[in-house]
């Protein structure tokens, strides 16, 4: 592999093929934009930056070997984390053994039990990740009148859903909701009618969902045509953050509530984020990635900004020095100001709950400016009010 003399090389892996490829390829584009931006400004410490990225194929068993390659063969200066728990967790034993500075991209609660001091999470779930991802849904429900009393928890039978469901159970107890139904379904499920029939029999007020991309689509379609109407529905669905999924489902999403990490609303227009998204969106179609990039691009770019600012602040490539800097520094990023706290999580959580409102048809452009994804929590970032109770015939705005 050819290398520019004096180049700073950063190694990592992403799931560029397999079931996580959509988000991973969006991250790769955001990383490439960051690399171009930083090199245009003269690089880091006066040296150009090169990214050495390998495809882990969404196969966790490949990850340890992949990280050995950039460190031992490519002799990279730094490593960073890939996207999600599936790529981050299997890398951790090797990272810990070699005491590397490691900034991961998303991945819920990866360091909860490991407590590795040189790990830092680019995900706004804060010091209690499981609870923070799901708390907004239950906090909103507790404020509604008449107050809902019961909840059903439905989740995919998969690794990614375990931590959010633990958080949902804790928040149900915290806010005084009785769990009257709990079910899991295989990721291979295609017919969700029996799943929702069982929910309907419980008569729950709230329906909390923790689903993956394809099953999110199936669940939304089934719920929208089912006779049962919970008062609130959504919560921890992977999929509705994706532009293609939004456009595919269109008006069927109206009334659903779900988590987001960033939204195109005025209170989240942090310095540089619009410029990033303009560049990303100009290149998204040719790169065959999510057309808007709202879910992945700001976090992936901010991941690299943290690395860059730590390097510039220390003037060093030393992992211990970079980690000490990250533990004590406020980073200024396209995701706003970030400080890291316990286990390398954000010191303060910033998980959004959005409600889809006023979607008409399937045109992508309506999702560009945040008018169809109303931020209803937390209060510091709200862009509109919650529509309650959930209804299929949501009025168009």
Query: Domains along the chain?
Result: 8-127+269-344 (3.40.50.2300), 129-265+351-381 (3.40.50.2300)
- Percent of the chain whose pLDDT exceeds 90: 90
User: pLDDT band at 163, cuts 50/70/90?
Assistant: confident
pLDDT of residue 394: 57
Burial 96-128 (b: 16+ CB within 10 A, else e): eeeebbbbbbbbbbbbeeeebbbbbbbbbbbbb
Asked whether the CA dihedral 276, 277, 283, 286 is positive or negative, the reply is positive
User: pLDDT band at 82, cuts 50/70/90?
Assistant: very high
- Tokens 């510091």 belong to 380
Among the listed residues 84, 102, 131, 90, the one whose alpha carbon sits nearest the alpha carbon of residue 296: 84
Alpha helices (H) along the chain: 21-40, 63-68, 85-88, 92-98, 129-142, 159-174, 193-202, 213-225, 243-249, 273-287, 297-314, 319-328
pLDDT of residue 5: 59
pLDDT of residue 397: 39
Whether 227 has a pLDDT exceeding 80, the answer reads yes
Task: Compute the average pLDDT of residues 328-355.
Answer: 97
Whether 42 has a pLDDT exceeding 80, the answer reads yes
Name the average pLDDT for the chain. 95
Q: What is the pLDDT of residues 129-138, one digit of tens each?
A: 989 999 999 9
Q: What is the pLDDT of residues 88-144, one digit of tens each?
A: 999 999 999 999 999 999 988 899 999 999 999 999 999 999 899 999 999 999 999
- Tokens 């609870």 belong to 131
Whether 77 has a pLDDT exceeding 90, the answer reads yes
Whether 1 has a pLDDT exceeding 50, the answer reads no
pTM for the full predicted model: 0.93
Whether 212 has a pLDDT exceeding 90, the answer reads no
3-state secondary structure of 150: strand
Among the listed residues 277, 308, 283, 284, the one whose alpha carbon sits nearest the alpha carbon of residue 370: 277
- From residue 240, give the alpha-carbon distance in Å to each of 51, 53, 298, 367, 372: 30, 27, 17, 11, 12
Among the listed residues 151, 129, 126, the one whose alpha carbon sits nearest the alpha carbon of residue 138: 151
Among the listed residues 66, 112, 117, the one whose alpha carbon sits nearest the alpha carbon of residue 87: 66
pLDDT of residue 395: 53
pLDDT of residue 3: 46
């Amino acid at each position: 592999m050819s290398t520019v003399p004096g180049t700073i090389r950063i190694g990592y892996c992403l799931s560029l093929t397999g079931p996580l490829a959509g988000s991973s390829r969006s991250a790769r584009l955001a990383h490439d934009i960051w690399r171009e931006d930083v090199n245009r400004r003269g690089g880091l410490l006066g040296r150009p930056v090169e990214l050495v990225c390998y495809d882990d194929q969404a196969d966790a068993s490949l990850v340890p070997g992949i990280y050995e390659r950039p460190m031992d063969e490519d002799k990279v200066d730094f490593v960073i984390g890939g996207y999600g728990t599936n790529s981050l967790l299997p890398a951790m034993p090797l990272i810990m053994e070699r005491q590397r500075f490691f900034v991961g991209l998303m991945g819920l609660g990866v360091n909860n039990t490991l407590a590795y001091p040189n790990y830092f999470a680019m995900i706004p779930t804060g010091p209690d990740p499981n609870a923070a991802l799901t708390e907004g849904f239950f906090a909103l429900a507790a404020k509604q009148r008449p107050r809902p009393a019961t909840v059903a928890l439905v989740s995919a039978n998969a690794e990614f859903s375990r931590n959010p469901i633990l958080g949902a159970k804790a928040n149900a107890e915290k806010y005084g909701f009785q769990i009257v139904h709990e079910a899991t379904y295989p990721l291979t499920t295609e017919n969700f009618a029996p799943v929702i029939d069982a929910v309907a029999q419980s008569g729950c007020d709230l329906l909390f969902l923790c689903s993956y991309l394809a099953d999110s689509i199936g669940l939304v379609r089934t719920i929208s045509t089912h006779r049962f109407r919970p008062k609130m529905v959504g919560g921890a669905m992977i999929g509705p953050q994706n532009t293609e999924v939004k456009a595919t489902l269109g008006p069927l999403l109206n009334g659903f509530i779900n988590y987001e990490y960033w939204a195109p609303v005025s209170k989240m227009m942090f310095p540089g984020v619009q410029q990033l998204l303009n560049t990303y969106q100009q290149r998204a179609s040719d790169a065959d990635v999510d057309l808007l990039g709202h879910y992945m691009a700001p976090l992936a770019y901010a991941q690299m900004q943290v690395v860059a600012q730590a390097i510039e602040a220390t003037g060093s490539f030393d992992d211990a020095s970079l980690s000490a800097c990250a533990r004590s520094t406020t980073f200024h990023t396209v995701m706003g100001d970030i400080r890291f706290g316990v286990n390398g999580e954000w010191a303060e959580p910033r998980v959004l709950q959005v409600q889809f409102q006023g979607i008409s048809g399937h045109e992508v452009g309506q999702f560009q400016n945040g008018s169809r994804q109303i931020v209803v929590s937390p209060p510091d970032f709200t862009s509109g009010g919650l529509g309650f109770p959930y209804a299929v015939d949501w009025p168009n705005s």
